[in-house]
Chain A
Amino acid sequence: MSKIVELINVFALLSLLAVGGGTAVLPEMEHVTVERCHWVSDTQFAEIYSLGQLAPGPNMTCVALIGYEVSGVAGLLAVLVAFFFPACLLCYFASKVWDAAEGSPWRDAVQRGMAPIVIGLMLAGCYALGKTASYNPAKDWDVNLLTLGIGAAVAVILSLTRINPALTILSGGAAGFFLLG
């Protein structure tokens, strides 16, 4: 039971700190769930995030799987509610206030000021995932070369084409199967 309360506390706070979208809390989530609470390993964290990219809908629904690892189905449901409900409730009331502030020049200031913070957080998220998923010192150099290569190939392909990103994730899995298996 205390595990559930802990899960709710962590994910409710993360929910309210998700400025500029769910990806912005990725580095903090990785640090808390892997290094502080030891709920999942760094590899599991990266894999759970990646599985989330294969499901439709909001890309952070996968956080529920961390709850599942900790406390089974009850943990899964607790994390889903804790991660989505507080931010939705805040949005409901804040959007009413925001409507009232229509035309205030401070709205623009908030948006332009927060933009670089969100990008900094997203880069920290890239680093938090990449330090196990792309370059892992515990693995052989040829594995690391391949994982770095897959990441670079995906980034380049997505920059140059309009292919569905989920397909590039599946292709990465296929590359792992045929080249590492």
Chain B
Amino acid sequence: MSDATPRVSLGKLFRVFGLIGLTSFGGGIVAYLRRALVDKEKWLDEDGFMAALEIAQTLPGLNSTNMSVIVGRKLRGPAGALVATLGMILPGAVIVTALGFTYVALRHDPKVAVVLTGVAAAAVGLLVQVTLKIGWKQLIRPQDLLFVVVVFVLVGIFHVSLLVTLIAVAPLAIWVHRPRTEKEAA
């Protein structure tokens, strides 16, 4: 059932991903993707979606564009990956550009400046909430918390380059979770 990949036209692929790119306000793009790809178009079943998401989250890059590449490739090969990714990025890029032009023109207006102060303050609250929501499991497990703190201090406080930090810390963190023969506690 999950191997029966439907034939999808490139135009349709662009429209479906473009609609997600245009309507997914406020983050949480994964939920929009699931609704469109699994529930509405039925291009993927639940397992196929979760498998794609797993890859998208592990590889570098944004989850939303990685999902576009993976699902586009699965449905229509290289052209599909390109079309789906462009559909995902373009609407937001156009809107952010329009917002940006307005911002550059108006940011010295004191009335606009106070709005931006409030907007930025709220964005920090959103980022903190998202971090705690996806990270609480890591924050309560002492072994993981150690890595959280080490990375925070290296990158956030001492500005050690991200590349150096990843090369130093990632192999150790993966080794700690290395596969073992006996069943380990989760």
A47 touches B55 (CB 8 A): no
A172 touches B123 (CB 8 A): yes
Contact flag A92-B78 (CB < 8 Å), given A65-B96, A126-B131, A153-B125: yes
A160 → chain B, closest Cβ, in Å?
10
Q: Contact flags (1/0) for B69-99 with A, using CB distance below 8 Å?
A: 1100100001001000100110111011101
Q: Contact flags (1/0) for B44-76 with A, using CB distance below 8 Å?
A: 000000000011111111111110111001000
On chain B, which size bracket covers the interface? 35 or more
Contacts of A80 in B (CB 8 A): 89, 93
Residues of A101-159 at the interface with B, using a CB-CB cut-off of 8 Å, are: 105-130, 132-134, 143, 146-148, 150-155, 158-159
Contacts of B148 in A (CB 8 A): 116-117, 119-120, 123
Contact of B73 among A28, A92, A128, A155 (CB under 8 A): A92
Does A71 sit within 8 A of B, measured CB to CB? no
B122 touches A119 (CB 8 A): no
A111 touches B57 (CB 8 A): yes
Q: Contact flags (1/0) for B110-144 with A, using CB distance below 8 Å?
A: 11001111111111111111111111011100001
B117 touches A49 (CB 8 A): no
A88 to B77, CA, bound (A): 14
Contact flag A115-B138 (CB < 8 Å), given A84-B85, A120-B150, A159-B133: yes
Contact flag A87-B123 (CB < 8 Å), given A28-B155, A113-B173: no
Contacts of B8 in A (CB 8 A): none
A174 to B111, CA, bound (A): 11
B60 touches A46 (CB 8 A): no
A93 → chain B, closest Cβ, in Å?
10
Residues of A21-45 at the interface with B, using a CB-CB cut-off of 8 Å, are: 21-23, 25-28, 31, 35, 43-44
Does A167 sit within 8 A of B, measured CB to CB? yes
Contact flag A150-B151 (CB < 8 Å), given A58-B29, A126-B131, A159-B133: no
Excluding A64-B93, A95-B55, A146-B118, 5 further A-B contacts by CB distance (< 8 Å) are A111-B57, A113-B176, A117-B170, A119-B139, A134-B121
